[in-house]
Structure 1
């Protein structure tokens, strides 16, 4: 295949959300050792979706991902058999109850069950930047002419860390406090070659600063059974960490002889850590770039921090609400443990949802 300088586009988007809704007051009431803390005020999260524990519900990490992938295919012009690549980006990899999978890969299992039997398949692991990392890799493969299309998918059973935190947390300064803001969801995006500028990924670039990797760690709990998330919120959200995105993005644009204002973004989507975080990052961006930020899209109040799926969940809800401007230019900004930052710029006109 020859190289396609036009690059890739988002062709279809799929989603799956568990039907169970859990309010923040209900969650706080389950944390026995937590003093009277207004979690909704601190995080901005008023509710989140929570997986169904019953095996027949199929809402483990794998089952969630499968449902989102099927939804994406239902909105795509491609059948599963047409896919050249399947990439799985889940942080949580639960399947068959409490079994946590490393091998066989979720991508391989999903490709087989979907019917994408000839597709290249692999998992990526890059914390909450996982789906954007998968998109980054698939974009490069399409641009290089190696493949024609592919699927990036993630299912996150993130509220398992909230369950651990509810058992173990002692106060609002506990490193598991951020675990109380998470929610469950699954997203899938199908990408192919761009055919015009109406639908096109202009660029996607990521950067990792490993110096801060110790500030947010997911691992087996140190005290009880289950997985836990330990986050130093004060250090993670210091100003020099928030400035990493505008510094990196500004440098990338300068290489092209452009400024942030030149990009004329219509919408910006930050990682859905919490309402305060989104506001602070946008304020930092405005100050560092010396220009107003585009309209900020967010669903964290309703769904919480859904890890790898957060940017695409925002995009999906925005597009399905019917309020999106056709031909708008979007900026997706990752913020992940690692610490990972970067930027994805895309024009979206005809994305199937």
Structure 2
């Protein structure tokens, strides 16, 4: 059976999205459940979601499904009906974006992965059947009021930098697989304390909570639905959020504002700013924080060198980046070995 996917160029798909005269709702969801044939399930999803004009990014693995999508408002009920017709996904919680213009995705991509969250766990006795207790927004705030509570942020540095819960501990690693053993080491001696783990939508902290229990910690909680669901519940209930700043999201928006606090700084001038962007030089594409003044001065680039490259003929730009694999190019102040030089000496 041929693999089902979209064959239209990204440029044309983006243009079509901009021309849509209807609103879309951005939704995220995940579920850990056994899938015997991920490729078959992937094609089943693609066929039905594509017919509903769903855009987004979905990962399917033997351990479950992880999705960030946008759905035309007119198709929301049909989408829910289809999703809930799949028994393990029946009545699944859907995280609705809180700061959303519906322009988060422009194509549907569904990929088969080894795991929906790459965790590096090779212990055959580890199981997702025993995991930490869910907490909602109100319960999260109550636990945070207890000075004996330990709250752990299971996201990446660039996510933590623009927003996090009060007194949250950052696990200083760039990959989830490294964070898990580091969290265990950092929490040694706290086996009997209340430990709350959180992440963007819940998928990472749910697995992290199971891992901490597996490693002998006895009072582990995780924030149900992550920051996205917390912000929604807090707003609906009129609860003062204890999350400060902006929640980084993995779509074109690059962030949802939770509070008006700006806790990060522009990586170029140091002024208060929490706006992420990608360097406009395609040979760099660095993810970094840039204020409006620097965006104008550097034309959306991370350095003068990249700005100069942007003005070269396209063929010359292609020659410069030919054979260069930028990999996961993210500005990270916590790891000097990964820190790109945001200055005029940075060579294209």
Q: TM-score range by the shorter chain?
A: under 0.3
Larger radius of gyration: 2
User: What is the TM-score of this pair, normalised by structure 1?
Assistant: 0.26
